[in-house]
């Protein structure tokens, strides 16, 4: 069985949408969709977390997926070849000073006015300034039934200075290839967003969204009731900046 099908079977068994499954492992709904469609694969650490959380052996997850096992083997072989290079990089890091180096590692929230983001009429997102990561933290309906998405950008000082800036086209809110389960348990395509919001920093801090991803931070803790989640979402939407709306 292919890994993508295994992940989808786990979601179906646990009655989890792609969005909820992604929240457990601090990835977006679209990333989960890409795993299931075999457009990309989870890294080894994430595979181990999935295995532990849902009591599915790695052998079961990888067995039969030749493409995935070849990818892991290739990564391992490549890692061996990079040992000397990594040792040299480590030496340079020591010479620069561990404290100086570590000061550039943590991700930082980018305020909306500093992102340089812009949208096409179709919902394609572009950024003119360098950024480190795109964080899609919510995809679903608001209280009025509008399909909305909420996101923010983060960056490290390294991504703004030493590394080649990552900017330009990064996302398309005007299309959607994901699925969600309706009230009858039927999987249906998720409609594209009609409104897109930029999340304020206070929610990033409050929910610790830039913490180690293995801690699985999320805007809506699993212990929250549906009513509490809806009330929190309504407040978040009020506080967030509307950056794109479908015409």
Domain total in the chain: 2
Does one domain contain both 122 and 161? Answer: yes
**Residue 43, domain CATH:** 1.10.260.40
pLDDT (tens digit, 9 = 90+) per residue, 25-43?
889 999 999 888 888 888 8
36-43: long-range pairs with CB below 8 Å, 24+: 36/4, 36/5, 36/7, 36/8, 37/4, 37/177, 38/2, 38/3, 38/4, 38/67, 41/3, 41/68, 41/71, 42/3, 42/7
Does one domain contain both 151 and 187? Answer: yes
pLDDT (tens digit, 9 = 90+) per residue, 184-243?
777 777 788 899 999 999 999 999 888 765 667 788 888 889 899 999 999 999 999 999
- Over the chain, what is the mean pLDDT? 79
pLDDT of residue 70: 61
Q: Which of 50, 85, 103 is the last residue of a domain?
A: 103
Alpha carbon distance 102, 41 (integer Å): 29
Domain of residue 179, residue span: 108-245
Does one domain contain both 136 and 154? Answer: yes
Does one domain contain both 3 and 99? Answer: yes
The whole-angstrom distance between residue 236's C-alpha and the CA centroid of its chain comes to 19
Does one domain contain both 48 and 72? Answer: yes
Global pTM value: 0.56
């Amino acid at each position: 069985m292919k890994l993508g099908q295994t992940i989808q079977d786990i979601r179906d068994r646990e009655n989890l949408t792609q969005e909820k499954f992604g929240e457990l492992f601090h990835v977006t709904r679209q990333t989960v969709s890409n795993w299931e469609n075999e457009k990309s694969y989870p890294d080894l650490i994430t595979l181990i977390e999935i295995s532990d959380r849902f009591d599915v052996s790695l052998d079961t997850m990888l067995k039969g997926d030749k493409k995935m096992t070849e990818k892991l083997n290739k990564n391992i072989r490549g890692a061996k070849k990079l040992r000397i290079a990594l040792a040299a990089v480590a030496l340079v890091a020591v010479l620069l000073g561990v404290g100086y180096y570590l000061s550039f590692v943590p991700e930082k929230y980018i305020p909306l006015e500093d992102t340089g983001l812009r949208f096409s009429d179709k919902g394609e997102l572009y950024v003119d300034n360098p950024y480190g990561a795109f964080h899609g933290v919510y995809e679903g309906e608001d209280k009025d039934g509008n399909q909305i998405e909420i996101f923010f950008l983060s960056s490290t000082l390294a991504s703004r200075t030493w590394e080649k800036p990552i900017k330009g086209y990064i996302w398309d809110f005007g299309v959607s290839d994901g699925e969600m389960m309706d009230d009858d348990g039927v999987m249906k395509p998720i409609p594209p967003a009609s409104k897109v919001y930029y999340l304020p920093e206070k929610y990033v801090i409050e929910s610790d969204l830039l913490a180690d991803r293995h801690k699985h931070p999320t805007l809506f803790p699993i212990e929250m009731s549906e009513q509490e989640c809806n009330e929190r979402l309504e407040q978040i939407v009020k506080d967030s900046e509307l950056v794109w709306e479908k015409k």
